[in-house]
Amino acid sequence: MTDTMAISIIDTARYGWLSYLGIGCVIFFAYFIASAIYNLYFSPLARYPGPFLAKISAWPNFYYATTGYRHIWIWQCHEIYGEAFRFKPDGVLFNSPTAYRAIYQTKANTKKGKFYEIWSRNPQYINTLTKVDKIAHARKRRVLNSAFSEKAIRSAETFVVKHVDRWTELIINENDGKGWTVPKNMSDLSDYLVFDIMGDLCFGTSFNLKEAEENQFKHMPHTIADYMRFMYPITQSPILALWVWLKPRGLDGVLEIASPKNVKDYYKFVDESVAKRRREEENLEKSGADESQGRKDMFHYLFKATDDAGNPAYSVDELNSEANLLIIGGSDTTSTIMTGFWFYLTRHPRVYDKLVKEIRTTFKSADDIKTGPALITCKYLLACVDETLRLSPAGTSELAREVLPGGLDIAGHLIPEGTHVGVATWTIMHNQEFYGDPWVYRPERWLTDSVTGVTTEDVARAQSCFNPFTIGQGNCVGQKFAMGELLITFAKTLHRMDVRLAPGDTLGAGAIELGWGMRSKDHITLKDAYISIKDGPMLQFRRRPI
C-alpha cells in the first residue's frame, strides 16, 4: 500500500465520522426544534404561561435546583405569571389552597413520580417515603403509624425531656452561668439536639452531638445536608428517568462504592444500631418478658408491627431504611423550624417579651413543662410556632405528584394524564391574597382578638393555606411528636434562659444583593435541597435572673 493510498483511507475514515457526527447534530437539532414547536403550540399545556425556556425544556428547572434557590424562582414565576405556571414542558405548578387539596388529598387522582424512586439506597432499601405504589404505600404507612400512636408519643416524651434538659444545662453552664455566652450558631445547636433525640428514639443510642467533646458523628448533619444538595438536582434532572433506570443496573453499587467515608460510616452506624436493637427485642421476646419491660422507643413499635397475616411487617433492610428515614425526616425538619423560631423571635423584641411572660407565668419551674393542658394553654407560644412554620418551612418546594389516567381538575384547570403537578410550600405560605403581609413575622395573625383586629375570618383565611405537615397519604406521620418536641424545647429554654441575637449578626438573613425574594434582612434565607438548608443565626444565652 502506497503512502498516498494510506492517507486516502485515513481521510475517508476521518471525514466519514465527521459526516456521521454532522448528521447526528442535524437530527438532534431538528428534533429539538420540532419538540419546541410542539411544546409551544400543540401540547395540552401550551395555554399555560411560564418562562419561554421552561416551556420547551426542563433545563431551567434543573438549573435552579443546582443553585439552591429553586423555591425563590418558583415564587418569582407565580408573581409574574399568576396562580398557575408551566415550570417545564410536562409540568404545571399552582398556588392556591383549592389546588393544594386537589393535588394532595388522599383520594386525589395523582401518584408519586420518579422523583421519589431516585432516593432509595438499593432495591431492598425501600421505606414509606420512597414507595411509589399507592396501595403498597398505604400498607407501609399503616404500619408506620403504630410508631406514632398516642401511646408511643407519650413514651417518647421521656426521651425528649431528657435531651432538652441536658441541652439547656450545657448551654447555661458553659461559662459557669455568668453573663452572656459566646455567640452560638443556632443551626448547629438545633441539629445536635434533634439528632440526639431521634437517634435515641430510633436506634436506642444517642449520637451525643450536643456534648462538648468531638465524636465521629459530629459532622453528620452537614453530611446529610451535603448529600441532599447532591441528590436534589438529580431529582429535577431532564434525564431523571435514565437515572432511575440505571439504579438497579449497577448505578446503586457505583454510588455505594463512591460514597465518602463519612457517609459510609453513617450507614454502618445505622445498620449496626438497628441490628443491636433488633437483638434486644428478640431476646426480650424469648425471655417471655411482659409488655411493660424494655425500651418503648420508636424502633420497639416498628419491630412489633405485623402485617395482615400476623407476620413481621418489616424485613431487616426495610427496618434499616425506615429508621434512616425517621432520623433524617424527624431531625433536619425539626431543626429547621427551631432555627427559624430563634431567628424571628430574637429580631422582634415585642414578640419575645410577650412570649417569655406567658411561659414564665404559666410554669413555676422549667421542670414542670411537659405536654398536656398547661402547655396547650400557651396560645401565644403556639402562634409563634405556627408563624415560624409558615415563614421557615422544613421543605420549601413542592411535593412532586404525577396525574394519573383520567386527568385531574385542579382549581378549574383540567390537567391531562402524565403531567407533573404540585404546590410549592414556600410560595403558598407567602401568598399575599391570603396573608396580606406575608413577609412580616406576626404571630397575632393566628389569634382572634378584638384589640389587634384579627377576626375569625382572618384566621380561617390564613389557615386555608397552612399545611406545614401536608395532607393526605403523604402527610407527616410524626407531626404530633414534632409539635410536642418544639413546644417543650422552646418553653424550657425560655424559662431557664434569656436569649438574644449576637450584636451585629446577619448570618442566615436576607440581603439586598441576594435579589428579589431574598432582600429583607428581617427574613430568613433558606436553600432548597428538598429539605431546607439553613445557617445561623448567632445567638447568646444567659441564665435567667431569679
- Helix or strand (DSSP H, E) at 414: strand 413-415
- One DSSP character per residue, 291-343 reads TTSS--SHHHHHHH-B-TTSSBS--HHHHHHHHHHHHHHTTHHHHHHHHHHHH
Dist. CA 104–CA 424, nearest whole Å:
12
77 marked ligand binding residue: no
Phi-psi region of 536 (alpha: psi -120 to 50; beta: other; left: phi over 0): left
Contacts of 494 (CB under 8 A, 6+ apart): 355, 356, 359, 360
Which stretches within 377-520 are classed as H helix? Answer: 379-391, 425-429, 432-435, 456-464, 479-496
Dist. CA 541–CA 494, nearest whole Å:
10
Torsion 400-402-408-413 (CA) sign: positive
Dist. CA 17–CA 32, nearest whole Å:
22
Quickly count: other Cβ atoms within 10 Å of residue 99's Cβ.
Answer: 23
**Burial profile 470-486: b = 16 or more Cβ within 10 angstroms, e = fewer:** bebbbebbbebbbbbbb
Quickly count: other Cβ atoms within 10 Å of residue 162's Cβ.
Answer: 14
Return binding residues. 476
Return binding residues for heme. 476
